[in-house]
Amino acid sequence: MQTNNSVHNLNTSLVEALAQKLVAKRWIMATAESCTGGGIAAALTDLAGSSAWFDAGYVTYSNAAKQKMLGVNSAHFSAGGPGAVSEEVVREMSAGAVARSEANVAVAVSGVAGPGGGSAEKPVGMVWIGWCVEGESSAQCYFFDGDRERIRQETVAAALQGLLSRI
């Protein structure tokens, strides 16, 4: 398991590499975050000059905010729907972030950071990450170990790594 400082250093390196790729392609990005509470946007904007390639960050913690701010289908949150922590929701969150901003690419996260809120079906540490790159969406489910801070930090790192590999 990585220490908090090594995760921070990894994220800084990932942001620098991501910034280079975005600038080279003249692309702009956005974030749509739930369980990280703006942590991805914070990591991105820690880098001086990020205004050249970062447009917007949506922190949509509630289901209502996901619907209103990002256009996520309300049926996902009704009985029988997949719920907030799902592939469908993060794909719609990332697509909604692109549609509602000046971005070409976006990353979205929704998960159970803990310490409570988990279930047998969706345990603490389960996080869905979605990416929308030039209209192509993809998503992946992750299971992170540790406390709330560790899960959130690992989510930021995985979201950045995933975006970097997709552009």
Question: Angle at CA 11, nearest 5°, toward 133 and 3?
Answer: 140
DSSP string of 55-86? EEEEE--SHHHHHHHH---GGGGSTTS--SSS
Query: Given this model, what pLDDT does residue 32 score?
Result: 98
**Two tokens at 167?**
């552009």
Query: Given this model, what pLDDT does residue 12 score?
Result: 87
Q: Which class is domain 4-166?
A: alpha beta
Tens-place pLDDT, residues 150-161: 999 999 999 999
Query: Given this model, what pLDDT does residue 11 score?
Result: 81
Tens-place pLDDT, residues 7-25: 666 788 999 999 999 999 9
| Low-confidence stretches of the chain (pLDDT beneath 50) | 1
Alpha-carbon gap, residue 111 to 121, rounded angstroms: 12
Tens-place pLDDT, residues 101-111: 999 999 999 99
Element (H, E) at 159: helix 148-166
